[in-house]
Structure 1
Amino acid sequence: MRLTFGSNPLINGIGCILGVVLLPAFIILKLIMMPFEKGAHRSPTYVARYIRDFIDNTSGEWDWDDFISIPVADPRLEAIRAAACDVSLPCGDEELAELEVLFEEAQRLAQQNRAALIAMLSRAIAGGVIDRNELDETFPHPRSLEKIERAAWSALSQWIDDADIRDHGERYRKFRLEQLVGHRERLE
């Protein structure tokens, strides 16, 4: 005998009971876990692009709702997103001016990230010391960097972690140094 969907009332009844029992448990678990959720990893450029698209009226129908509904992991960018949530819609000149300020702030953060990475890469290439604390303090949310910046951050992180290997292997040191130079060139 072959069972098809909807052909057995007993199986359908069990499925409904499981749904009724498991759905509240899932909702309770979700509510318990919400305070521990960190938010989405978005770059300053991503945040700026969303705001610019809204200002220029080039965003999709649900883009703005998506942007203001999803918290961002980086607190600096989350503050920008939260401020954008406070802008009343529909937008007049005053609201658009507020969004323009938020756009410029996101752009400034993107430029700061890039400049800090270039400065650290240059210092490492010149033989200066960069320690883990400095890297972590400068970039507390490396997953919120642009892809090219994350690659440079990763190279710097490896440079710091491999200090003992670098000090004993000239070939390895030269290889890692060339990587840092390449990352700096791509960022400049």
Structure 2
Amino acid sequence: MKIKKSEIVAVAVKPAQYPPDDMVEIAFAGRSNVGKSSLLNLLTGRKKLAKVSGSPGKTRTINFYLINDAFRIVDLPGYGYAKVSKSMSADWGPMMDKYLQGRQGLRKVVQLVDVRHEPSKQDLQMYEYLRHYGLDGIVVATKADKLSKNQLNRNIAMIRKSLKLGPEDVVIPVSALKKTGQEELLTVIQEILED
């Protein structure tokens, strides 16, 4: 699969601001600073489609991107960043609930984790949440260029164990810097769209 066309179509904090629920959506979730914006830019081949921020926790909206006029990628706000105010953290849960429970077109949520570290408590909670809604099964291990091949394999095994992944669940190591892993992820996205 090749992404030839991508554009932002909505920036939302509540359902009234979502685009019509009329096509397949694949959402991306992860801790603040996990490299979500960099990954979305890598997938779409556009340097500035998703804004990469120097201050983590910047995405506090749900951003909808129309891809190839055929489906949407949805960038969910990052979680687990300490400097985000308590009221902002409290808003995050209900905003996510409304989106994850209410969207007919939502097929999967790709969860991003930093391959260098064991998944955090929030990562574990998020994955449990996705499992509860049947949106689990795809994990992207970001910043793969920071580890040797042996460390990478060891850490992927650790991620699989921590998140209690089954053999059918996919973990894709990705490096936005080295531009690796995106082909594999695009293939998985293609399979979801064809399912």
Instruction: Tell me which interval the TM-score lies in, with the shorter structure as reference length.
Output: under 0.3
Could you say which structure has the higher helix fraction?
A: 1
So what's the TM-score if we normalise by structure 1?
0.25
So what's the TM-score if we normalise by structure 2?
0.24
Q: Which structure has the larger Rg over C-alpha atoms?
A: 1
Could you say which structure has the higher strand fraction?
A: 2
